[in-house]
Amino acid sequence: MTDQSSQDRVLIFDTTLRDGEQSPGATMSHDEKLEIAEMLDDMGVDIIEAGFPIASEGDFRAVSEIAERSKDSVICGLARANAKDIDRCWEAVRGAERPRIHTFIGTSPLHRQIPNLTMDEMADLIHDTVSHARNLCDNVQWSPMDATRTEWDYLCRVIEIAIKAGATTINIPDTVGYTAPEESASLIRRLIETVPGAGEVVFATHCHNDLGMATANALAAVAGGARQIECTINGLGERAGNTALEEVVMALKVRNDIMPWRTAIDTTKIMAISRRVATVSGFPVQFNKAIVGKNAFAHESGIHQDGMLKNPENFEIMRPEDIGLAASSLPLGKHSGRAALRDKLENLGFDVGDNQLKDIFVRFKELADRKKEVFDDDLIALMRVGEDAANDRLKLKTLAVTCGTGGPAEAKIAMEIDGKEKTATMTGDGPVDASFRAVRALYPNTAHLELYQVHAVTEGTDAQATVSVRLEEGGNIATGQSADTDTVVASVKAYIHALNRLLVRRGKLGQDEKEISYKDVG
């Protein structure tokens, strides 16, 4: 067996809180960002890109507090190529035990047109801004955005400039997910061989998944000499997302025979943070997602089940326990007590306090009264929608729906809006349409419904339905989720959840006055 202690370390740079949060509708609250940062730190992530401090006051506050609370991880902030951004970034991260400034500029022909700079003007700007960052912080990362579509000679030139100006990490972003694995490995290898001073810095890779090759490209870059992988939990990110942390980490662990590099990640914490990020971002994990998907360790065909019973290694190349997934056990029922519920939740990766357990237990009992058996997935859904809604301006009180083949559906709804209860009755093309119309009658809004999605959590006619609703209003996007054995109730709760998130988003923009839109670094 290979001795991992003697192998090269690959640094894991997580950008869930920056690039991941740029997914339309994935905005996280301040407390949620702090919680995710703590989980990333605890699982052994080397560098946490906590946000883009100049983007808004909210981003600045989150990065600052994450920096102050950090334990082992380097805390990094993003800054564009100007002194104002870099100063603001330093102000946010300087409280960390190990701070980093990450500055970038687009170097490809297409991206050079954005600031309208010549090659020489951009080269001078790179020298000046990297030097400015290094004068503030001894840990500076520089990225040539859209590096994979930048002319070879120019890419070598600007990387050399950045290294001489004091950059300690050079990140090579595949900003639009354009490259392929062989190209990814070759590009890193050639840069290390060609650029003066390349041997004195860490080369990083940041891959997007537009062609479905982000993980393959990241691992290929490591084979080419990169020693830092930029990634996100669940592959969250703009468009098709980023390299998924769980995929590269488990690939290096499972196939260490052909990829002899090690990370510091505690893989048993992967499942817990995957579920938490899915909850706070409002982006559920697809069932067949590698490593963390619901079906990743499911075996349905007779041949596979027979093989699993004889030897799990027949069809499993890793154990569920490796990622913190507890072996399935007996479901709970309405006679189960608090101790059994706590034990089950802990096995599922949820750490709950006494007060939180009381609230969850009440909702568990309500669910158990409606379902004969409460399975693991039911509890996960319960936890996902069990966030404290004490500060929500909009709350569902009661809902009664009449529908069938005899005419239009009718929904009578009671809501609490800013502490006052109001009722409305509306008809519509089906119970969900009627219910959404009733919500709009009580709380008029111009939000456009971009996504309405229903999934059955478990099997059977008494299964909970998990509903996701995505709304867009004035360029702001918010996703709401809820679960209930009544699909219409789950739908209305998810719709109201999304409206509440829009209200929070709208309030943030009003407080911060502006939001930086050009903040993608690939």
Kindly state whether residues 307 and 416 are assigned to the same domain: no
Kindly state whether residues 63 and 195 are assigned to the same domain: yes
Q: Inform me whether the pLDDT recorded for 101 exceeds 80.
A: yes
The CATH number of the domain holding residue 425 is: 3.30.160.270
Q: Inform me whether the pLDDT recorded for 508 exceeds 90.
A: no
Give the pLDDT confidence score for residue 307 in this predicted structure.
Answer: 43
The residue-averaged pLDDT of 26-38 equals 88
How many domains would you assign to the chain?
3
The residue-averaged pLDDT of 320-341 equals 77
Kindly state whether residues 307 and 250 are assigned to the same domain: no
pLDDT in tens, 193-245: 999 999 999 999 999 999 999 999 999 999 999 999 999 999 999 899 999 99
Pick the closest to residue 338 from 360, 366, 367 (CA basis): 360
Residue 19 marked as a ligand binder: yes
HSE, CB side, 13 Å, CA atoms: give it for residue 111: 25
* Higher pLDDT pick, 161 / 507: 161
Kindly state whether residues 231 and 107 are assigned to the same domain: yes
Kindly state whether residues 312 and 250 are assigned to the same domain: no
Give the pLDDT confidence score for residue 83 in this predicted structure.
Answer: 97
Q: Inform me whether the pLDDT recorded for 509 exceeds 60.
A: no
Is residue 376 a part of any domain in this protein? no
The residue-averaged pLDDT of 497-505 equals 85
Q: Inform me whether the pLDDT recorded for 305 exceeds 50.
A: no
At 158 the three-state DSSP class reads helix
Residue 369, Cβ density class (10 Å: 0-12 exposed, 13-18 middle, ≥19 buried): exposed
Q: Inform me whether the pLDDT recorded for 352 exceeds 70.
A: yes
pLDDT in tens, 360-398: 888 888 888 877 777 777 777 777 665 545 578 999 999
Kindly state whether residues 301 and 427 are assigned to the same domain: no
How sure is the predictor about 520, in pLDDT bands with cuts at 50, 70 and 90? very low
Is residue 517 a part of any domain in this protein? no
Helix 376-384, helix 354-370: angle, nearest 10:
120
Is residue 235 a part of any domain in this protein? yes
Measured at the alpha carbon of residue 236, what is the angle toward residues 8 and 297, in degrees to the nearest 5? 75
Give the pLDDT confidence score for residue 326 in this predicted structure.
Answer: 67
Give the pLDDT confidence score for residue 339 in this predicted structure.
Answer: 85
0.85 exceeded by the pTM? no
The residue-averaged pLDDT of 322-326 equals 83
Kindly state whether residues 254 and 314 are assigned to the same domain: no
Q: Inform me whether the pLDDT recorded for 315 exceeds 90.
A: no
Kindly state whether residues 264 and 305 are assigned to the same domain: no
pLDDT in tens, 279-293: 888 788 888 999 998
Pick the closest to residue 102 from 91, 89, 114, 112 (CA basis): 89
- Which of 108-112, 371-375, 471-475 bottoms out in mean pLDDT, i.e. has the lowest? 371-375
Per residue, what are the HEC states of 247-312?
Answer: HHHHHHHHCCCCCCEECCCCHHHHHHHHHHHHHHHCCCCCCCCCCCCCCCCCCCCHHHHHHHHHCH
Is residue 362 a part of any domain in this protein? no
The CATH number of the domain holding residue 130 is: 3.20.20.70
- Which of 104-113, 216-225, 398-407, 412-421 bottoms out in mean pLDDT, i.e. has the lowest? 398-407
| Single residue among 226, 251, 281 that ends a domain in this structure | 281
At 70 the three-state DSSP class reads coil
CA distance 160 to 164: 6
The residue-averaged pLDDT of 27-39 equals 90
Is residue 364 a part of any domain in this protein? no
| Single residue among 281, 314, 335 that ends a domain in this structure | 281
Pick the closest to residue 56 from 23, 35, 15, 28 (CA basis): 28
Place of tokens 């009992």: 365
Pick the closest to residue 148 from 115, 129, 176 (CA basis): 176
Provide the mean pLDDT of the chain.
87
Kindly state whether residues 76 and 156 are assigned to the same domain: yes
Pick the closest to residue 371 from 456, 493, 467, 460 (CA basis): 460
Token output for 499 = 């409206």
Give the pLDDT confidence score for residue 517 in this predicted structure.
Answer: 44
Between the ranges 211-220, 292-301, 464-473, where is the mean pLDDT highest? 211-220
For residue 137, report the phi and psi dihedrals to the nearest 5 degrees: -140, 140
Q: What percent of the chain has pLDDT over 70?
A: 89
Is residue 351 a part of any domain in this protein? no
Residue 448 marked as a ligand binder: no
Q: Inform me whether the pLDDT recorded for 64 exceeds 80.
A: yes
Measured at the alpha carbon of residue 186, what is the angle toward residues 180 and 188, in degrees to the nearest 5? 105
Kindly state whether residues 232 and 301 are assigned to the same domain: no
Give the pLDDT confidence score for residue 167 in this predicted structure.
Answer: 98
Kindly list the strands in the beta sheet with 420-428, ordered across the sheet, starting from the edge strand earlier in the chain: 394-402, 409-417, 420-428
Q: Inform me whether the pLDDT recorded for 4 exceeds 70.
A: no
Place of tokens 């954005």: 114
How sure is the predictor about 313, in pLDDT bands with cuts at 50, 70 and 90? low
> Which 8-state DSSP code applies to residue 419?
T
The residue-averaged pLDDT of 282-308 equals 68
Decide: 244 and 232 in contact? Cβ < 8 Å.
yes
| Single residue among 224, 252, 281 that ends a domain in this structure | 281
Give the pLDDT confidence score for residue 387 in this predicted structure.
Answer: 53
The residue-averaged pLDDT of 432-438 equals 96
How sure is the predictor about 407, in pLDDT bands with cuts at 50, 70 and 90? confident
pLDDT in tens, 446-461: 999 988 988 877 767 7
Place of tokens 């004035």: 474
Decide: 180 and 146 in contact? Cβ < 8 Å.
no
Kindly state whether residues 48 and 13 are assigned to the same domain: yes
Domain housing 321 = 297-325
Is residue 334 a part of any domain in this protein? no
**What DSSP string runs through 82-123?**
SHHHHHHHHHHHTTSSSEEEEEEEE-SHHHHTTTT--HHHHH
Kindly state whether residues 499 and 442 are assigned to the same domain: yes
CA distance 141 to 201: 10
Is residue 345 a part of any domain in this protein? no
